[in-house]
Chains A and B, each alone.
Chain A
Amino acid sequence: MAQFRDVLLTLNRLKAEGVIREYAIGGAVAVSLWDEPVATQDLDVIVTVDADSPPLDPLRALFDWFDRHAQPVAGEHVVIAGVPVQFLVAWSPLVEEAVAAAAEAVYDPAEPGSPAIRLIKPTYLVAMWQTGQGADTPRRRERAARLREAGLVDEALLAELLSRTSGQ
């Protein structure tokens, strides 16, 4: 059976081969890894791409890569090692900053050579939900509350991010 680490190896390979510039995991999986695990359907991966990527089709190089490697696509997900992955291009300067500032951890500290996993930091997750169009949903507000309850949100940084991005 496939292993989740294979997803991480694929993401790291995409970066090493220049298909994407950088990636970071967001959404409920990021919340699960910062706080306590919750059941969620898919894995949100936010990527940054080169500036010369086609503006109307910025994920073209990514999907061409998956096509070349016979990676199955199911609806809006690429299925990597049994995990439905939704790729999203960083949709604002705040999100680009969140990807660049993502935390990097070792997936399994007990396993020598375990791949790295990049996670959007909690304060950026909350800022993205509060500023993204349509992202401020009851479910995301509940996730934000969980991150705050766990003491993971830097309120001073959040205020700065929100004031800085109010014009974006």
Chain B
Amino acid sequence: MTTKPAQVFAAKTRWHEEQRRLPPREKIRILIELQQREAESNGIRASLGRPVVAMRPWDTQA
């Protein structure tokens, strides 16, 4: 594992490029997972007195 910022940012750029190249089905799977995380985070937001984000995860599989 590197701690050099240039290498870290280069690795992040590569990761984002890989994410962009994923097939549609895999991206929809991630999108549904993000919806579920967003909905879970609303509990934390509410407990902190922060506004919640309108988010209801899709009732489907990718």
Q: Which of A46-54, A59-67, A107-115, A135-143 contacts B (4 or more CB under 8 A)?
A: A107-115
Partner of B61 from the list A4, A37, A109, A110 (CB cut-off 8 Å) is A4
- Chain B's closest residue to A5 (CB) is B25
A56 at the B interface (CB under 8 A): no
Flag if B59 contacts A1 (CB, 8 Å): yes
Q: How many residues of A contact B (CB 8 A)?
A: 32
> Main SS of the interface on chain B?
helix
Partner of B20 from the list A36, A81, A114, A117 (CB cut-off 8 Å) is A36
For A91-117 the 0/1 string (1 means CB < 8 A from B) is: 000000000000001111111001001
> Main SS of the interface on chain A?
loop
Docked Cα-Cα span, A38 to B31, in Å, equals: 6
Within 8 A of A (CB), among B19-36: 19-20, 23-25, 27-28, 30-31, 34-35
Partner of A38 from the list B16, B20, B34, B54 (CB cut-off 8 Å) is B34
- Provide the residues of chain A in CB contact with B60, threshold 8 Å: 1-4, 6-7, 81-83
> In the complex where A37-B34, A38-B34, A39-B35 touch, is A4 in contact with B20 (Cβ < 8 A)?
no
- Provide the residues of chain B in CB contact with A2, threshold 8 Å: 59-61
CB of A9, distance to nearest CB on chain B (Å): 13
Interface size class of B (residues with CB under 8 A): 20 to 34
Flag if A32 contacts B58 (CB, 8 Å): no
- Provide the residues of chain B in CB contact with A33, threshold 8 Å: 24, 27-28
> In the complex where A105-B24, A108-B23, A108-B25 touch, is A39 in contact with B61 (Cβ < 8 A)?
no
A150 at the B interface (CB under 8 A): yes
- Provide the residues of chain A in CB contact with B56, threshold 8 Å: 41, 84
B55 at the A interface (CB under 8 A): yes
Flag if B58 contacts A37 (CB, 8 Å): no
- Chain A residues with CB under 8 Å of chain B are 1-7, 29, 32-41, 81-84, 105-111, 114, 117, 150
Jot down 6 A-B pairs with beta carbons below 8 A, ordered by A. Answer: A3-B62, A34-B20, A37-B30, A39-B31, A39-B35, A107-B23
